[in-house]
Amino acid sequence: MKAILFDCDGVLVDSEPALAKVAADVMNGKGIPAKPEDFAPYIGTGEDTYLGKVVEKYGGEYNDEIKELVYQNYIDKGVNYIQKFDGCEKMLNDLADADIPMAVASSADDIKVRANLSILDFDEQKFTAIIAGNDVGRKKPWPDIYLLAAERIEQKPEDCIVIEDAVAGIESGKRAGMITIGFTSNCTQQQLEEAGADYVVDTFFEMETILMQLLK
């Protein structure tokens, strides 16, 4: 293994509760009685699916205005609710110091990915590439985003390790022919294993140990 590809929401930052709260608030303001828990089944699938499926659930019609409002509110207020995972920044800096190629591959649009990364005590320029949902036509669970990430960092797919917190993301990494590590921030160990995760961890300390073994 030579390189690591990270999902962002739920992996590099604990942002899923913040996004669900903001999205529900925006929809409530438009007369859609969405609740934060409504969004859980669509974690990792990109905002059009994540938001659109909940709008449809309540008989509404999804449009770009809803997504733009969610992003605006997320950047203005939601970032205040984002939490950091213990050990994440240390691991990223350790990997960067070891000259391990790293990329971010998120189904979210670039504007949200950058907002998330801004809260980390880690220079995002140390990522060889940052791929967002608007860089690909087909979102996770399709393999497109991880294949593009491998191409951008000039690595073979089979030499890459994917870090994911969602079923759709694990499925995407497996379809791309990559080793996958599931992080239990939003899904259970069983859900991630059933999706095909090669390893499942509960903490970044476990994750770093496994990565160092795979990267030897």
Alpha carbon 163 to chain centroid distance? 9
Residue 190, C-beta contacts closer than 8 angstroms, at least 6 positions apart: none
To the query of whether residue 94 is one of the catalytic residues in this protein, the response is: no
Question: Distance (Å, rounded) from C-alpha 20 to C-alpha 188?
Answer: 19
7, 38, 165, 198: which one is catalytic?
7
Cis peptide before 141 (omega within 30 of 0): yes
Catalytic entry in 9, 109, 165, 198: 9
Distance CA 4, CA 95 (A): 9
Q: Is 7 a catalytic residue?
A: yes
Q: Mind telling me the catalytic residues? A: 7, 9
